[in-house]
Amino acid sequence: MHRLNLKEVDMVVSTVPDRQDNLMLIKKTKEVHPSAVVIVTAMRVEDALDLYDAEADYVILPHFLGGERMSILLEESSKNIKKLLEYKISHVKELKKRKKLGHRHPKKHRHR
């Protein structure tokens, strides 16, 4: 955190879903640059509400975001199945590109 030059940024985006890390990021950013936009990520609704209370400008909830994106995709392709096929081809290309570059989705940790 101390290596970030928060005074110079206009926007901070955190895709790390750790509540405490994001609370600290919001606090530190708003202390040194009150007008900076801070976007953080949460996995739970309760955490998202806490982050909004801490002055996050927007909270990404991946599950909701995925659902919203899927809704838009279905709406756009419902009358034209070719559109869905276009999305599929584009998506497969992107996934193959990411695989080639070594990007993998992190495995979920299971608590025992």
Distance CA 48, CA 54 (A): 10
Give me the mean pLDDT over the 26-49 stretch: 95
Locate 14 and state its tokens: 């955190």
- CB 10 within 8 Å of CB 36: yes
Domain residues for 91?
A: 63-101
Full-model pTM: 0.69
Tell me what pLDDT residue 19 has: 97
Could you tell me if residue 109 is inside a domain?
Answer: no
**In the chain, what percentage of residues exceed pLDDT 70?**
89
Examine the domain organization and report whether 53 and 97 are in the same domain. no
Decide if pLDDT at 55 tops 90: yes
Could you tell me if residue 93 is inside a domain?
Answer: yes
pLDDT, averaged across the chain: 87
Could you tell me if residue 39 is inside a domain?
Answer: yes
Residue with tokens 């869905």: 84
Examine the domain organization and report whether 53 and 67 are in the same domain. no
56-62 — which CB contacts under 8 Å span 24+ positions? Answer: 56/22, 56/26, 60/15, 62/17
**How many CA atoms lie within 13 Å of 59's alpha carbon, on the beta-carbon side?**
25
Indicate the number of domains in the chain: 2
Q: The CATH number of the domain where 26 resides is what?
A: 3.40.50.720
Summarize pLDDT for 10-23 with one digit per residue, the tens. 999 999 999 999 99
Tell me what pLDDT residue 111 has: 43
DSSP secondary structure letter of residue 10: S
Could you tell me if residue 1 is inside a domain?
Answer: no
Give me the mean pLDDT over the 94-100 stretch: 91
Examine the domain organization and report whether 21 and 54 are in the same domain. yes
